[in-house]
């Protein structure tokens, strides 16, 4: 079973994604901010992380940097899901090492397709 870590501080997004990925037979983990995400990622080694950028405490950029610098998480795919939708934001996220960058609001169907592609 593939493991997915959903990192977002918006409860409605978290609930929707959790429901979707449990139906797709993923083992789902939830974090409300970057520091919680890093703790969970260390213990669970997810296959993929869905990561918001604007969160309390540790933001998505810092979280991505920590994931990419962790040898245990080097194979973990990271998808930014963010309301930051300027071309410069998207370029920054991809340049920092995100595998994909989707802007909110996003199509869950498209997200599922992108994740299936990343995990092939």
Q: Contacts by 55-59 with C-beta closer than 8 Å and gap 24+?
A: 55/7, 55/8, 55/9, 56/9, 56/32, 57/33, 58/33, 58/34, 59/34
Cβ contacts of 39 within 8 Å, gap of 6 or more = 31
Report which secondary-structure segment, H or E, holds 117.
helix 108-118
Residue 112 belongs to what domain range?
Answer: 3-118
pLDDT tens digits along 65-82: 999 999 999 899 999 999
pLDDT tens digits along 13-63: 999 999 999 999 999 999 999 999 999 999 999 999 999 999 988 999 999
Predicted TM-score (pTM) of the model is 0.96
Quote the pLDDT of residue 118: 96
* Cα dihedral: 46, 48, 54, 58 (round 10): 30
Quote the pLDDT of residue 11: 95
Query: Cα(first)–Cα(last) distance of the chain, in Å?
Result: 14
**CATH code where residue 65 lies:** 3.40.50.2300
Quote the pLDDT of residue 119: 95
Structural domains in the chain (count): 1
């Amino acid at each position: 079973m593939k493991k997915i870590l959903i990192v977002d501080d918006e409860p409605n997004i978290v609930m929707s994604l959790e429901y979707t990925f449990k139906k797709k037979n993923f083992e789902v983990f939830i974090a409300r901010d970057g520091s919680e995400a890093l703790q969970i990622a260390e213990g669970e080694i997810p296959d993929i992380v869905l990561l918001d950028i604007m969160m309390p405490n540790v933001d998505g950029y810092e979280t991505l940097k920590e994931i990419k610098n962790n040898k245990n998480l080097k194979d973990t795919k990271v998808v930014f899901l963010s309301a930051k939708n300027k071309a410069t934001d998207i370029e920054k996220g991809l340049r920092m090492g995100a595998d994909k960058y989707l802007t909110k609001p996003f199509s869950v169907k498209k997200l599922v397709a992108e994740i299936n592609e990343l995990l092939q």
